Structure 1
Amino acid sequence: MKHTLPKEWQRVRLGDIALKIFSGGTPQSTKEEYYQGNIPWLNTGEVKNTRIYQTEKYITELGLQNSSAKWVKIDSVIIALYGATAGKVAINKIPLTTNQACCNIILNSKKAYYEYIYYAISNAYLHLFSLASGTARSNLSVSLIADYKIPLPPLAAQNNIARILSVLDSKIELNNRINKELENLAKLLYTRYFVEFNFPNEQGKPYKSSGGAMVYNETLKREIPKDWEVLKLSHRLHFERGAEFGTSSYAQSQLTPNYIKFYRVGDMLDSQNSVYIDSSKEDAPLINENDLLVSFDGSVGRVAYGLNGTYSSGIRKITDKHKLISQAGLFCIFNDSYIQYTITQYATGTNIKHAGAAVENLYMPYCESIFLSLQKEIEPIFALMKQTKTESHVLSKYRDFLLPLLMNNQVEALE
């Protein structure tokens, strides 16, 4: 539904406020000399209503010269044309190049403020998604984006609207950085206890460094503390597999209270792209913020927590049969480098990896009293991680509530 705009606002084509709109390109994948360079190269899967500070892949100058990839100047607006993120948008905070599935908009700063345009396109996501064409995949095009119209207030109002929304996003980004540091701290403590075996001995000194007895274990192919056991995780833990409901069941928003979020493997680390399903019509295995999820298909070995809804068959919900190992403890176990390596080693398939066979082959050195002692140290850290993540979810909901109101001038952004 189009709202009546104030007389000083306009509906403009994106092409009319841009200096340039173009897509990128992909260097030939079989040419090793085109990759592992120092030129950031953005994939459409990374465009998901966010700011880009780094890219997953980098290309060389040779790769740039021998492809349609082009430099995109800092603070441009980038829209995903197809794939799972079609219609999503990003701002690049570094100069970079992109693949052909990205539409790159270099704006005329005399007409449009890049952060306002970013939020205007974010607000139009559902409409852009519905405009996507194609059968096997949903495709937008550069020409469609150039012709797409958005509401445009005067520059001062653009700045005010963007300022309000970006304050919320900045706090979310800060929370993400805080959580990354807290996660690293929890992993460091786990490594000290269960990789280096320098947990406090009876005298409070680090066990292995102080000469604690070690014995070689044939299953793990390394030394472990004397009298410890080798725990087969499938004997101690439940691995509850998720379910598939088919794309025809997906909704892009919560249509009624019965609709719950459906997390696929790609949504585990960034839930902005998760879809909804009607839980009243589907037999969905439920999860809440106290559950731990691990992926065994696709991008295997991903670990997620703090999610509410249901999940796909490529993911397992992990719980302790004895109800002693907590979510915090499970988080550390499944981030262990040996566990991650084992999951990867059992992954088979070409396009999509399947590592379900790893479930029966996951082992760890274990002493219950030592583990519970470690868990007690980690719990306050993990509690703060969950609190920070919950705060980010609340801020995201508040931002998403404000976004259409500001874009339709239903509330005024004051200086």
Structure 2
Amino acid sequence: MKLADIIETFISGDWGEESPSSDTPNAVYCVRGADIVPITNHRFNDIPQRYVCQRTVDSKMLQAGDLIIEKSGGSPTQSTGRIVYVSDDLIREKGNIVCSNFCTALRVKSEWNPLYVFYYWQNVYNHDAFFNFEGKTSGIKNLQLDNALSAIEIEYLPLENQNKIVASLSAIDEKLKINRQINDNLEAMAKQLYDYWFVQFDFPNEEGKPYKSSGGAMVYNERLKREIPIGWEVENLIDFAEIKNGATPSTADEANYGGDIVWITPKDLSDQQSKFVYQGERNITKQGFDSCSTSMLPTNSVLMSSRAPIGLVSIAKHEVCTNQGFKSFIPKSISDSIYLYYYIKHHIKQIEQLGTGTTFKEVSRDDLCKFPILTIGAKNIYVQWIELQNGIADKQLALTKEIAALTKQRDELLPLLMNGQASINYHLSDD
């Protein structure tokens, strides 16, 4: 069979309007290509709300089990054709869902488990098949969807067999979802701890009471334009950490790539969406490292993307180097990396305002060197905070590595199940 044979109906997209009007009064959440990875990782917060007409509500609303395909976009290394499954969880959390007009949605026939089709499509995508079905319009790559559906084969399996494969793969995805939720909850705790102690200044005083709320002495700081606890200071970021640039080895020389030096690009941080980074999509060789001006960064360095986009922040948990899209910080004391991470995250809007440039904005090293950073006067309080944060961070890193291992296991299992090289033991598919 061909993929075209298993499609019941197509549902086109609608970007709608930013604000409601008499013509577009209905609020919906609109899934874009940019939302595919976050939704797959069970993160729904950034899906934009738009306003659409009644005809869109009547004919384009999506339901659980629908599949959204990215038709336009991609990059030289990423084809169009990415897919995301509309889950019950997504519908429960967001309610009215449509896809954007750069996407389309598919609803499969009743004898097909839509999750099985999702996994099958993902396996085809992982083998770069959709590069063969792309055209360009005004510099944007477009998926020739009809051609792809008519050309790509899918073997018929009884629904019972589809369900067994889905049970195995979705069990891994469920564990991934739980791990991500635990990690997100731990991150909310860690951020709240930073805000409570070093933004509101309600760290515990000598009596264990909230410092500022209990009348702790404060003094106005001209550089920060706010009051800070007496005895605390403000210095330049360069006095707190070394600031390093990154660079890219020539891509024309294949000998620069494929080595054992971890090399990070902003895409690695965008894809992983993690507090920590310890591997990238591509490594470079010693030759590649020596051929450019990138810097080797020790474990616990803080990486910040400084252009396209500004503001992705992560802590290195391996020796790494970066491309030119980063400014990276090596704290004078390695225990300061957690504090620096949250300080930069909290002040990222001010850092973004330092960006200059016409094609895209970039934050310069010189501007970052002069950026103010608050240093904690109460050293015992600071040490206590670091210990609490390290306890949270250790749990998060362990979960992050387990997520990576489970994802690798699922992605390696996927083609084996789809082409019949592996079968499901009966107990793995039991409810």
Contact 1:328 / 1:375 at 8 angstroms: preserved in 2? Answer: yes
- Indicate which of 339, 345, 361 corresponds to 1:329: 339
Deviation of 1:247 after TM superposition, in Å, equals: 7.2
Query: Normalized against structure 2, the TM-score is what?
Result: 0.80
CA distance in 2, matches of 1:132, 1:261: 32
- Indicate which of 73, 93, 102 corresponds to 1:83: 73
Deviation of 1:259 after TM superposition, in Å, equals: 7.0
Deviation of 1:40 after TM superposition, in Å, equals: 0.9
Change (3 A) 1:75 1:259: farther
2:33 corresponds to which residue?
44
In the alignment, structure 1 residue 116 sits paired with structure 2 residue 105: no
Deviation of 1:204 after TM superposition, in Å, equals: 2.9
Matched to 1:354, the amino acid is: E
Tell which deviates more after alignment, 347-356 or 146-155: 347-356
SS at match of 1:317: strand
Q: Over residues 325-353 of structure 1, what are the superposed CA-to-partner deviations in whole Å (9 max), with x where a residue is unaligned?
A: 1x3333322222xx122123223457744
Matched to 1:89, the amino acid is: I
In the alignment, structure 1 residue 384 sits paired with structure 2 residue 375: no
In the alignment, structure 1 residue 19 sits paired with structure 2 residue 8: yes
In the alignment, structure 1 residue 413 sits paired with structure 2 residue 421: no
Change (3 A) 1:155 1:305: farther
Deviation of 1:52 after TM superposition, in Å, equals: 6.2
Q: Give percent identity, aligned residues only.
A: 28
Change (3 A) 1:142 1:394: same
Matched to 1:57, the amino acid is: P
Contact 1:82 / 1:138 at 8 angstroms: preserved in 2? Answer: yes
CA distance in 2, matches of 1:410, 1:331: 45
Deviation of 1:17 after TM superposition, in Å, equals: 0.5
SS at match of 1:47: helix
- Name stretches of at least 5 consecutive residues in structure 2 with no aligned partner: 274-279, 427-431
- Indicate which of 203, 220, 227 corresponds to 1:216: 220
- Indicate which of 55, 61, 79 corresponds to 2:52: 61
Matched to 2:114, the amino acid is: Y
2:277 corresponds to which residue?
none
Query: Normalized against structure 1, the TM-score is what?
Result: 0.82
Q: Over residues 353-372 of structure 1, what are the superposed CA-to-partner deviations in whole Å (9 max), with x where a residue is unaligned?
A: 42336523532322251333
Residue pairs, 1:209-358, within 5 angstroms: 209-244=213-248, 258=259, 263-271=264-272, 275-276=281-282, 278-279=284-285, 282-283=288-289, 285=295, 290-305=300-315, 310-325=321-336, 327-336=337-346, 339-348=347-356, 352-356=360-364, 358=367
Contact 2:183 / 2:399 at 8 angstroms: preserved in 1? Answer: yes
SS at match of 1:388: helix
Q: Over residues 218-240 of structure 1, what are the superposed CA-to-partner deviations in whole Å (9 max), with x where a residue is unaligned?
A: 10011011121113222211232
Tell which deviates more after alignment, 280-289 or 98-107: 280-289
Matched to 2:304, the amino acid is: V
CA distance in 1, matches of 2:284, 2:296: 12
CA distance in 1, matches of 2:424, 2:140: 38
CA distance in 2, matches of 1:183, 1:374: 15
2:106 corresponds to which residue?
105
In the alignment, structure 1 residue 173 sits paired with structure 2 residue 162: no
Deviation of 1:164 after TM superposition, in Å, equals: 0.8
- Name stretches of at least 5 consecutive residues in structure 1 with no aligned partner: 1-11, 251-255
Change (3 A) 1:181 1:276: same
